[in-house]
Amino acid sequence: MTKSLQSAVKEIIVGKIGAARGLDGTVKIIPLTDFEDRFDGLKEISVGGKIFVIEQVKHIGGQLFMKFAGVDSRETAKALTNKFLTVDRADAAPLADGEFYTFDIIGCEVFDDDKKIGTVTNVLKTGSNDVFEVDGNILIPALKSVVRSIDVASKKILVDSNAY
């Protein structure tokens, strides 16, 4: 179970294409990553499963825009609207010790000692701390006082149910 679940995520979503901007094929990018600066160094990216060469990345007024090679008109750009931008998992931004990607947490089984509580189905971003949603109806705060350990390789999270 370990290897197949972990390797199942080959590409990660880092953004979504919004509206066309102007007449030259530039599109607005809606970042879906905590690492927005990752777009600045990219040479190419997958858009809806097709690889596009990035000609230009612009930051204007707190918004992000991209121009792709071969997308040279507003009409061509409109065809990309709502498509997801993905990168290979190997290109994921490195994390510090104790940090995890949401897609690695989802699918982990949660245990309190030897008793299985359930499986993480969602990670809620509350602002102060993340909250693991387990089996759609149990909420576990992702705090050091509650979560004893996370092992994404074995898809296992140990918690202290007395702490929440």
141: CATH:
2.30.30.240
Q: Is residue 97 part of a domain?
A: no
Domain final residue pick, 91, 118, 142: 91
Q: Is 112 found in the same domain as 82?
A: no
What is the Cα–Cα distance from 162 to 156, expressed in whole angstroms? 18
Q: Say if residue 7's pLDDT is above 50.
A: no
- Asked whether 145 and 95 are in contact (CB, 8 A), the reply is no
Q: Is 63 found in the same domain as 136?
A: no
Q: Is 113 found in the same domain as 37?
A: no
Q: Say if residue 37's pLDDT is above 80.
A: yes
Please give the pLDDT value at position 6.
39
Distance from the first to the final alpha carbon of the chain: 29
Q: Is 68 found in the same domain as 128?
A: no
Q: Is residue 155 part of a domain?
A: yes
Instruction: Quickly state the pLDDT bin for 8 (edges 50, 70, 90).
Output: low
Phi, psi torsion values for 41, nearest 5 degrees: -100, 0
One-letter amino acid for residue 98 of the chain: G
**What's the whole-number average pLDDT of the chain?**
90
Q: Is 109 found in the same domain as 39?
A: no
Instruction: Quickly state the pLDDT bin for 9 (edges 50, 70, 90).
Output: low
Q: Say if residue 1's pLDDT is above 60.
A: no
Domain limits for position 87? 2-91
Q: Is residue 111 part of a domain?
A: yes
Instruction: Quickly state the pLDDT bin for 33 (edges 50, 70, 90).
Output: confident
Q: Is 44 found in the same domain as 13?
A: yes
pLDDT in tens, 91-145: 888 888 888 888 889 999 999 988 999 999 999 988 889 999 999 899 999 999 9
- The number of folded domains in the chain is 2
Q: Is 83 found in the same domain as 7?
A: yes
Q: Is 125 found in the same domain as 87?
A: no
Q: Is 15 found in the same domain as 55?
A: yes
85: CATH:
2.40.30.60
Q: Is residue 14 part of a domain?
A: yes
Q: HEC states along the chain? A: CHHHHHHCCCEEEEEEEEEEECCCCEEEEEECCCCHHHHHHCCEEEECCEEEEEEEEEEECCEEEEEECCCCCHHHHHCCCCCEEEEEHHHCCCCCCCCCCHHHHCCCEEEECCEEEEEEEEEEECCCCEEEEECCCEEEECCCCCEEEEECCCCEEEECHHHC
| Token representation of residue 160 | 């202290």
What is the Cα–Cα distance from 25 to 73, expressed in whole angstroms? 4
User: Average of pLDDT values for 8-22?
Assistant: 88
What is the Cα–Cα distance from 71 to 75, expressed in whole angstroms? 9
Instruction: Quickly state the pLDDT bin for 3 (edges 50, 70, 90).
Output: very low
Q: Is 84 found in the same domain as 40?
A: yes
Q: Is 49 found in the same domain as 9?
A: yes
pLDDT in tens, 49-106: 899 999 999 999 989 999 999 999 999 999 999 999 999 888 888 888 888 888 889 9
Strand-pair partners of 68:
54
Phi, psi torsion values for 163, nearest 5 degrees: -95, 0
